[in-house]
Amino acid sequence: MNRSKSNKRKDLYAEAGVDIEAGNRFVDRIKPIVQRTQTPGVITNIGGFAGLFSLHVQHVKNPVLVSSTDGVGTKLKVAFMLDKHDTVGLDLVAMCVNDIVVQGASPLFFLDYISMGHLDEKKAVDIVKGIATGCMEAKCSLIGGETAEMPGFYAKDEYDLAGFVVGMADNEELLDGSEIAVGHRLIGIGSSGLHSNGYSLVRRIFFDELKMSVLDHVPEFGRTLGEELLEPTRIYARTISNLRRDFHIYGISHITGGGLIDNPPRILPSRCKAVIDTNAWIPHPVFQYIKKAGNVSDPDMLRTFNNGLGMLIVVNEEETDEVLLRLKAMGEAAYSIGCVEAREEDEDAVQFLGLET
């Protein structure tokens, strides 16, 4: 169901489970929500066949478009359990945007795809509200999307989401990690919790093994299990933009699926390794709870979750303290967590200090 108007009345298609009139009502309801996200460059309003964005308003000397796509994964199952849908859209934006800001790009516009067995207008509006909130936080425009009704495809009251972001960077300012060198320092920027990774394991531990409910109050979390698990993913676009104005950032790694084991090597030169002191920060209680209650090993924790760090940035030693002060002034939890050292051929790209043996 393209987000466009239609004069077609209910017919056999509606009887088959696809309500075009409901789709039109939905488009009307989300128009003012979407308009709040618009930035200079947006040409079209929602409802056309495609979203248009002018690049002439972007003052970039040698522009490169940077894009990414992602979803929310099985975190959606928690939203279904709580029947709460106004934050997963923010997760959707965050997972896409964080992947392009680490390349040095500023987000320009966002597209979403929402697919349901039957269009629930209230649920869909709540989802779009979350997406719009994320777009405003990332300073990008929601310029279009697709809402699909697929009767018989999803379990009752379930849906899926996908997001697509396009940003821009100056070719001379792209970040690929090639400047990272021995002696550089590693700074970890705090996450808001689990973000949107590892939920298949999380659900198995909490719901299958521990037999907990999303409504259970967990003293360690200071709130219910459901509230903890639905905590939205942090969006780091403004934070990274602020840092790059005044400091030389040599590389940034989004600590997403694959955790601290698989993501830092994506930016490290082949002859470098990241040495990370796991005692340099205290993970959120949710990670400690999962590790203990689920009897999860350190390697599995480090590969599955962000363990309290949403971003890892590489700076020179001389600017480390100033970068930490700037991050804390912006309200970010930030930690000096290690350094870059020379890597031998038979060594792993990431070495951890302080792990239990």
pLDDT in tens, 66-80: 999 999 999 999 999
Q: What phi, psi does 36 have (nearest 5°)?
A: -70, -15
Residue 253 · residue 267 · CB < 8 Å: yes
Average pLDDT over every residue of 124-136: 97
| pLDDT the model gives residue 335 | 98
Q: Where in the chain is the domain with CATH 3.90.650.10?
A: 185-353
| pLDDT the model gives residue 51 | 84
Strands 185-190 and 334-342: antiparallel
Question: Distance between CA 349 and CA 270 in Å, rounded?
Answer: 8
User: For the chain, how big is the Rg over CA atoms in Å?
Assistant: 22
Question: Distance between CA 34 and CA 134 in Å, rounded?
Answer: 11
| pLDDT the model gives residue 122 | 94
One-letter amino acid at 91 equals D
> Would you say residue 1 has pLDDT above 70?
no
Question: Distance between CA 10 and CA 354 in Å, rounded?
Answer: 64
Question: Distance between CA 161 and CA 163 in Å, rounded?
Answer: 7
Average pLDDT over every residue of 125-146: 96
Tens of pLDDT, residue by residue over 215-245, are 999 999 999 999 999 999 999 999 999 999 9
> Would you say residue 9 has pLDDT above 80?
no
Q: Where in the chain is the domain with CATH 3.30.1330.10?
A: 12-173
User: What is the helix (H) or strand (E) element at residue 212, kind and residue range?
Assistant: none
CATH classification for the domain delimited by 185-353, as one of 3.40.50.150, 2.40.128.120, 3.40.50.1970, 3.90.650.10: 3.90.650.10
Question: Distance between CA 60 and CA 54 in Å, rounded?
Answer: 13
CA-based diameter of the chain, in Å?
A: 69
pLDDT band at 186 (very low <50, low <70, confident <90, very high): very high
> Would you say residue 315 has pLDDT above 80?
yes
Q: Tell which residue, 24, 347, 338, 33, has the closest CA to residue 183.
A: 338
Question: Distance between CA 77 and CA 150 in Å, rounded?
Answer: 18
> Would you say residue 307 has pLDDT above 70?
yes
> Would you say residue 323 has pLDDT above 90?
yes
Mean of per-residue pLDDT scores for the chain: 92
Residue 194 · residue 308 · CB < 8 Å: no
The DSSP letter of residue 194 is: S
Residue 233 · residue 196 · CB < 8 Å: yes
Q: Around Cβ 55, how many Cβ atoms within 10 Å?
A: 11
Note if the pTM is more than 0.85. Answer: yes
| pLDDT the model gives residue 57 | 65
CATH 1.10.1790.20 fits 12-173, yes or no: no
| pLDDT the model gives residue 5 | 42
